[in-house]
Amino acid sequence: MGGWSLVYEEFSPEKEGLRETLCTLGNGYFCTRGAADEAVDDGIHYPGTYIAGGYNRMKTEIDGHILENEDLVNMPNWLPLSFRIEEGSWFDIRQVDLLNYRQELDLKKGLLKRDIRFEDGEGRRTRVSFRRLVHMSLPHLAGQEMRLTAENWSGRMEFRSALDGRVVNDGVARYRKLNSRHLDPLESKRLGEDGICLTVQTHQSRLQVAMAARTRIYRNGRSLSLDRRTIAEKGYIAQLIGVKIEKEAAVTVEKVVGVFTSRDPAVSEAGLAAGKAIRQAGGFEDLLHSHAMTWDHLWQRFGMSFEYKDGQQGEPISEVLHLHIFHLLQTTSVNTMAMRLDVGVPPRGWHGEAYRGHILWDELFIFPLLNWRMPEITRRVLMYRYQRLDAARAAARAHGYRGAMYPWQSGSDGREESQSLHLNPRSGRWIPDNSRLQRHVSAAIAYNVYQYYQVSRDTEFLAFYGAEMILEIARFWSSIATFNREHGRYVILGVMGPDEYHEGYPDAQSPGLNNNAYTNVMAVWVLDRALEILEILPVDISACIREKLDIGEEELDRWRDITRRMRIPFHGDGIISQFEGYERLEEFDWEGYREKYGDIQRLDRILEAEGDTPNRYRLSKQADVLMLFYLFSAEELREIFQDLGYPFAYETIPKNIDYYIRRTAHGSTLSRVVHSWVLARQDRERSWKLFNEALFSDVTDIQGGTTPEGIHLGAMAGTVDQIQRCYTGIVTRNDALWLNPCLPEELATLRLQVRYRGYFLRLEICCDHIKVTSLRNREYPIRVGCGEEIVELNGRDTIEFPLG
Amino acid sequence: MGGWSLVYEEFSPEKEGLRETLCTLGNGYFCTRGAADEAVDDGIHYPGTYIAGGYNRMKTEIDGHILENEDLVNMPNWLPLSFRIEEGSWFDIRQVDLLNYRQELDLKKGLLKRDIRFEDGEGRRTRVSFRRLVHMSLPHLAGQEMRLTAENWSGRMEFRSALDGRVVNDGVARYRKLNSRHLDPLESKRLGEDGICLTVQTHQSRLQVAMAARTRIYRNGRSLSLDRRTIAEKGYIAQLIGVKIEKEAAVTVEKVVGVFTSRDPAVSEAGLAAGKAIRQAGGFEDLLHSHAMTWDHLWQRFGMSFEYKDGQQGEPISEVLHLHIFHLLQTTSVNTMAMRLDVGVPPRGWHGEAYRGHILWDELFIFPLLNWRMPEITRRVLMYRYQRLDAARAAARAHGYRGAMYPWQSGSDGREESQSLHLNPRSGRWIPDNSRLQRHVSAAIAYNVYQYYQVSRDTEFLAFYGAEMILEIARFWSSIATFNREHGRYVILGVMGPDEYHEGYPDAQSPGLNNNAYTNVMAVWVLDRALEILEILPVDISACIREKLDIGEEELDRWRDITRRMRIPFHGDGIISQFEGYERLEEFDWEGYREKYGDIQRLDRILEAEGDTPNRYRLSKQADVLMLFYLFSAEELREIFQDLGYPFAYETIPKNIDYYIRRTAHGSTLSRVVHSWVLARQDRERSWKLFNEALFSDVTDIQGGTTPEGIHLGAMAGTVDQIQRCYTGIVTRNDALWLNPCLPEELATLRLQVRYRGYFLRLEICCDHIKVTSLRNREYPIRVGCGEEIVELNGRDTIEFPLG
């Protein structure tokens, strides 16, 4: 990777899954995995095109259990564009002699390019160049172009341009036993001279997806009038076009595709809309022009740049960070807003089938990046949760709680989508999955709402939607907490923390842990914020919301009481116990297992296959207690602990970090992000090392095969956010924006642009100063602080703070 | 009408259509017309339930022309709930002796009640009380309750609770030749013990609508376990329940209904969602409690109250105004926002089939009311236009223009939905309809975007959506304007103004008028605003938008030039000509026609039936030139005219008003609103009279039959807005809020609450002072002015201005 591109110089079938995922193209509305064209459909991997927020449910029987899975919708494949020479067999990259191969993902323009030069069995040498895009500002359009040159031959060729709805979700090996054929064909038809259209409907959710393709062939820039045949089958349609080829006279095949679903705004019927889209669309070059411009505008908002200190120029860090931003903006974008899509941000993007496109807590790591660049996207995506507030209320009621209990995995209608059984590929066993006991997901949602408000000051969102979510989540925490006379404190029993390697006590009958420290602190924090929100809102609105939710004084008293008397377990010398009784677990033989297994990131599978369980040991998949130091400043934590009547010395922090960091397997890519963050100020070297590992999670597929199942968006956004917030030390406090930079040793200068309360602020951070420039603006003044100094910013202005 | 209710004390089949419409219940998601229950389905009128923004297209051949109409979707009827005694015939209100009858729409609670006492052929006397609601905060739910008491008999009864999808759109007589059966049945099934579910799909647009109904019967508050039979047919399902009745022991039948469409957020499949909704819903009383609370909160935001001067207490003005607000909030509401519905505001609400639910320019009269009370609704509804910006661009291109040309009538996908032929019921002829030449609709959209921004200061909306609409509309005006060397000015040819009685010059070959003054001034105003917007936006955003739309300096120069050299025609002594050559038309014989026809509101139909045409005369259906004095202050107009180099003395205004008011037929209900407004300060008595006529447009159905086809929402909202803005004189100017009241003679005090830039402001306006109270608030300070005085308001505060 150099500059702004991801480049592969050889064709390697065994790495195709990884490349496809990293070369995904998308626009927040739909995503298409990158590498495969029709020629490599078969035997390597089927290309996946996923629609944002589209789901379908299917039932499968496994070991006598009925599993009901809600899967993301694998749309028809719009890519197939193939050719054959003189009625030979269709091009297959594995059946020819490859003379050259080059694939490049141009991040700046959002363009995927592939150049192939090959010789076939008859000695014919041919060059083919592909370009492909999924349009960023015309979200229903995608396009590809194939330019073919016969180097040493002339003759007849046939091109085949197809839309294929006979696809299945088979991108994740361990899900393959589950039903995954989601599409029923509705219609395959020709449209005019050069168009074809395919309409399908998901089997259970009845979501209609229509695709239309317009295929044109050019020589010397002139469109050729050619014979076309259309093959229409159930769920498949193709157009075959014959062309005479002259040696060295390139022909260009252009396929422009329109995609619509029945949920889109401004649509009469999806097929009609798709047909109209390809009638009105420009050619590939036109599309590329507006598409690249949109990316250019996005990079102005989302980009960042570095200067390294002398001799440190070699690191490709900024390139990887741009790849991460690129993938985030393909998953959730301006189109998510403008098309008011009903979607959350899935942990694996819309890039693969892992977690089936469900929404988990990973948004916690993703929203900060959006909040500081384009908070309007966060607002739209938070609506996904608001729309499912009633489902969360029903879930709380069904479990005997009050308020809103959000599901660990959320899909179309907000019910719990976590699997009840999962497959351990190592043992081949289907084992019970208790991950749904991770009640802390609701706290993450409240945290996300509050952080969005802090940066945007969007009182309107708070008044209509945000406050109701925070209050109902607070109420849930109040109702799941019970008062324990022995401790004289409130406790929360039978839950799981973020560390998924602990789902219960060894040998206990039922799953769940008591007083998970992370959960309990988050519960207190949510209750604090709920009380605060009622004060922030205009008094009339606050009164209406309280009346609507029936929140009386007595309930508020209980909330206040919990914020003073929640139990947090400790052990040893100021170590926050991950949960009650953690200290009674055995220490784990890290060295022994590392020796025996090498990669021990997935200790859960290793131990289960051995008939053992991680529940017995002091080990964790990922940060759990340490999440607290990631989410909160030391000041905030001290306040929470002091209110609870627990001692909290600042030395507690490094002590806890040290304790847990030694007991972590990093089975989640989020883990390194958190650990790197919490070490940033106390152990810059170690932090930088972890940061670099986190950074390459996907690029080098450090989990050995999980990236092809979908990128890890939490780690992607989290690493960018580490530059953005951790190294700049940017926080909001007391109606001001504060900067407290802590650049890694390697960096000389960091430049980025953030958005704060309507302002665009350009930040330049060096070792010895910070420069903040505000663009012309009519917003109300804001205050920006650094160290002891605080300055009012009004309209166009530049401030400089010297650094000590 | 007294208090907050609409009451009818007698059953009158001939007025049923009007009552149904005025008693519509809705929540911005769907609306149900009021009066009919199953017993009166037949022969009087079929009840209509319309889904907001749902459309379906059908083709019909008329006189050899194929007409393609896009109709609003008439959902399945959820109301049918009937009964019979001892296997007799089903209750039919026309077949019994009515002893008492009372129907009441309770505006405060959004509840429709009906009490019937009757004696049947066997001498059995029975009392039945109905209550019904469409829930305002649980938008997918509706409920009804029937309480039945046998006064002098005991015996067996059977209740029938049904969902009926065999409905057609037949509410407008003159559309009945057009295809109007939109629903195809998908599924009719029983759900558990007490539920039924019906799923249908619109024929062309494939919109799925599912309804589930849960029917329970109670005696003394206890649910009865009863025998139930289910009848399921294609597009229809009913449950029949037998009950033993004891004399004077009331039974209560409760029907709770869940409604979902395939476009709703947070839905897996509409039928599943509807089934879940009725399983989780509370009983009728629970629903009523939360529903009434929501209405109470809405009234806090939207209400207004008066005190009359001595001896003027009798006028039911405030009641009618509340009815208007009630209907507006049923058409577009908090649910429109929270469910991010893709809808505009149709001129007839979702209350009837006139204009087929299409969106016209009436929003111009409706948004101001929303802007000053709950601007978030306007924002959502403006998105309807943003979503169709591409369609408007395509329409402009197709007509050889640039920019965005919005359709006169807009439906699902933003294409032009105006009919090409319409029926004159008076002559029975289908005649060409040129109303689509009303290009001024695009100016209204730009006006709406700008006004929303003025009140809300929502720069984010402007940056992402609003600016693009205004700029593209400006570009359209620039491209439709041509430079005329003779006049040395720009001209706009071949359009129609708001006055639909003039669609061309008498005896001209093709329709359209030149230099419609209203259109030309609006075009200039839009171009001015477009130039302003580019300055208001942050400089980066402005640059990106200009690059995206490819707006160069040359284009901006042309825009500036047009704002200085657009032609506005005048005639006589400072009279703005409605269009070029207006003064050459004949004067109309108003007296003669009034004598001959009585009601001459629809002169177009009268003249066409006589073989004549309004095109020949100086008459208008509604305000056209006068719209300018309605939309703009004298200061604004003077500025526009001065920039154009036309004289503009203030005396021009009364002179023009006087000229045109004498030539207006008021064939549109909007007309009186405008005339009353423009007269408010110069002729209070006449203004008040017109205001009162406008106020009673629907309540008394002054157009003689159009209200049953749907309320007139522009007039409804316009009359409320006249109190809100015209009589308070509230305007935004130079970043301040100004008040300049002008109460009608009859009023002593006016109280209302407005929202301005995040503030809630309570206004009290009396003859001798204004009081402005701001609630506790954390927003940035605002400035409020009156006369020469301007005051800064910050947080909780009260200001008083004395009035001279």
- Write out pLDDT tens, residues A653-702: 999 999 999 999 988 889 999 999 999 988 999 999 999 999 998 999 88
pLDDT tens sequence across A81-127: 999 999 999 998 888 999 999 999 999 999 999 999 999 999 999 99
- Residue A539 has its nearest CB partner, among B55, B464, B775, at B775
Q: Residue A616, Cβ neighbours under 10 Å: how many?
A: 15
Backbone angles phi, psi at B89, to 5 degrees: -85, 160
Contacts made by residues B228-232, CB under 8 angstroms, sequence distance 24+: B228/B193, B228/B194, B230/B190, B230/B196, B232/B188, B232/B189, B232/B190, B232/B196
Q: Which residues of A touch B755 (CB under 8 A)?
A: none
Q: How far is A53 from chain B (nearest CA, A)?
A: 10
Sequence letter at residue A747 = L
H or E element, residue A295: helix A284-302
Q: Contact A536/B464, CB-based, under 8 Å?
A: no
Cβ atoms of B41 and B80 within 8 Å: the answer is yes
Q: Which residue in A695, A70, A731, A595 sits closest to A325, CA to CA? A: A695
pLDDT at B124 over 60: yes
Q: Which residue in B341, B296, B299 sits closest to B29, CA to CA? A: B341
pLDDT tens sequence across A472-524: 999 999 999 999 999 999 999 999 999 999 999 998 999 999 999 999 999 99
Sequence letter at residue B222 = R
Q: What percent of chain A has pLDDT over 70?
A: 97
Q: Contact A459/B779, CB-based, under 8 Å?
A: yes
Q: Contact B779/A414, CB-based, under 8 Å?
A: no
Angle of CA points B393, B398, B401, to nearest 5°: 65
pLDDT at B684 over 70: yes
pLDDT of residue B44: 43
- Residue B269 has its nearest CB partner, among A204, A391, A540, at A204
First-to-last CA distance in chain B? Answer: 37
Q: Which residues of A216-243 are buried (b: 16+ CB within 10 A; e: fewer)?
A: bbbeeeeeeeeebeeebeebbbbbbbeb
Q: Contact B548/A272, CB-based, under 8 Å?
A: no
Residue to test with chain A: of B187, B269, B464, B754, most A Cβ within 10 A: B269
Question: Pick the catalytic residue: A500, A503, A580, A709?
Answer: A500
Q: Contact B206/A273, CB-based, under 8 Å?
A: no
pLDDT tens sequence across B571-603: 988 999 999 999 999 999 999 999 999 988 899
Q: Contact B205/A538, CB-based, under 8 Å?
A: no
pLDDT tens sequence across A532-566: 999 999 888 999 999 999 999 999 999 999 999 99
pLDDT tens sequence across A767-795: 899 999 987 666 778 899 999 899 998 87
Sequence letter at residue A718 = G
Question: Residue ranges of the alpha helices (H) in A645-704?
Answer: 652-661, 669-679, 684-695
Q: How confident is residue A1, by pLDDT bands cut at 50, 70 and 90?
A: very low
Q: Which residue has the tokens 């809103």?
A: A404
A743: number of CA atoms within 13 Å, CB side? 19
pLDDT of residue A47: 63
Q: Contact B412/A266, CB-based, under 8 Å?
A: yes
Q: Which residues of A touch B293 (CB under 8 A)?
A: 547-548
Range in A172-181, A674-683, A750-759 the model is least confident about: A172-181
Cβ atoms of B294 and A295 within 8 Å: the answer is no
Q: How confident is residue A310, by pLDDT bands cut at 50, 70 and 90?
A: confident
Cα gap A183→A202, rounded to integer Å: 4
Cα gap A136→A637, rounded to integer Å: 41
Mean pLDDT of chain A: 93
pLDDT at A289 over 70: yes
The nearest alpha carbon in chain B to A57 belongs to B268
Q: Contact B540/A262, CB-based, under 8 Å?
A: no
pLDDT tens sequence across B523-541: 999 999 999 999 999 888 9
Six-digit token string for B425: 């019921």
Mean pLDDT is highest, among A225-229, B392-396, B754-758, for B392-396
- Residue B388 has its nearest CB partner, among A266, A388, A414, at A266
Sign of CA dihedral B544, B547, B549, B554: positive
pLDDT at B735 over 90: no
Q: Contact B206/A269, CB-based, under 8 Å?
A: yes
Q: How far is A185 from chain B (nearest CA, A)?
A: 14
Q: How far is B234 from chain A (nearest CA, A)?
A: 19
Q: Contact B778/A536, CB-based, under 8 Å?
A: yes
| CB-defined contacts A:B, below 8 A | 140
pLDDT tens sequence across A49-58: 899 999 999 9
Q: Which residue has the tokens 């177009």?
A: B604
Q: What percent of chain B has pLDDT over 90?
A: 80
Q: Which residues of A touch B390 (CB under 8 A)?
A: 138, 266
pLDDT at A314 over 50: no
Q: Contact A413/B266, CB-based, under 8 Å?
A: yes
Span A444-456, average pLDDT:
96
- Residue A464 has its nearest CB partner, among B263, B337, B778, at B337
Q: Which residues of B touch A208 (CB under 8 A)?
A: 206
Q: Contact A206/B269, CB-based, under 8 Å?
A: yes
**Residue A789 a catalytic site member:** no
The nearest alpha carbon in chain A to B395 belongs to A280
Q: Which residues of B touch A57 (CB under 8 A)?
A: 268
Q: How confident is residue B146, by pLDDT bands cut at 50, 70 and 90?
A: very high
pLDDT of residue B1: 42
The nearest alpha carbon in chain B to A344 belongs to B266
Q: How confident is residue B46, by pLDDT bands cut at 50, 70 and 90?
A: low
pLDDT of residue A458: 92
Q: How far is A462 from chain B (nearest CA, A)?
A: 12
How is B697-758 classified by DSSP, letter by letter? TTTTTTTSSSGGG---HHHHHHHHHIIIIITTT-EEETTEEEE-----TTEEEEEEEEEETT
pLDDT of residue B411: 98
- Residue B391 has its nearest CB partner, among A208, A266, A391, at A266
Cα gap A216→A161, rounded to integer Å: 10
pLDDT top residue among B215 and B181? B215
User: What is the distance of C-alpha A388 from the center of its chain?
Assistant: 19
Q: How far is A776 from chain B (nearest CA, A)?
A: 6
Cα gap A725→A632, rounded to integer Å: 12
- Residue B376 has its nearest CB partner, among A207, A267, A460, at A460
Q: Which residues of B touch A289 (CB under 8 A)?
A: none
pLDDT at A329 over 90: yes
Q: Which residues of A touch B263 (CB under 8 A)?
A: 262-263
Sequence letter at residue B801 = F
Cβ atoms of A134 and A51 within 8 Å: the answer is no
Six-digit token string for B498: 């708001």
The nearest alpha carbon in chain A to B376 belongs to A460
- Residue A539 has its nearest CB partner, among B337, B376, B776, at B776
Six-digit token string for A792: 């009012």
Mean pLDDT of chain B: 93
Q: Which residues of B touch A775 (CB under 8 A)?
A: 538-540
Q: Which residues of A touch B276 (CB under 8 A)?
A: 413
Q: Which residues of A touch B53 (CB under 8 A)?
A: none
Please state whether the predicted TM-score (pTM) of the whole model is above 0.80.
yes
Q: Which residue has the tokens 């505001």?
A: B345
Q: Contact B464/A338, CB-based, under 8 Å?
A: yes
- Residue A340 has its nearest CB partner, among B206, B340, B540, at B340
Range in A291-305, B206-220, B306-320 the model is least confident about: B306-320
pLDDT of residue A728: 95
Cβ atoms of B168 and B222 within 8 Å: the answer is no
The answer to whether the complex's ipTM is over 0.90 is yes
Residue to test with chain B: of A29, A71, A268, most B Cβ within 10 A: A268
pLDDT at A169 over 60: yes
Q: Contact B386/A293, CB-based, under 8 Å?
A: no
Strand-pair partners of B432: B421
Q: Contact B268/A387, CB-based, under 8 Å?
A: no
B49: number of CA atoms within 13 Å, CB side? 27
Q: How far is A453 from chain B (nearest CA, A)?
A: 13
- Residue A548 has its nearest CB partner, among B70, B293, B548, at B293
Q: Which residues of B506-539 are buried (b: 16+ CB within 10 A; e: fewer)?
A: eeeeebbbbbbbbbbbbbbbbbbbbbebbebbbe
Checking phi first, is residue A282 left (phi over 0); if not, alpha (psi -120 to 50) or beta? beta
Report the catalytic residues of B: 500
pLDDT of residue A35: 58
DSSP state of A645: T
Q: Contact A204/B779, CB-based, under 8 Å?
A: no
User: What is the distance of C-alpha B801 from the center of its chain?
Assistant: 35
Span B429-449, average pLDDT:
96
Q: How confident is residue B37, by pLDDT bands cut at 50, 70 and 90?
A: low
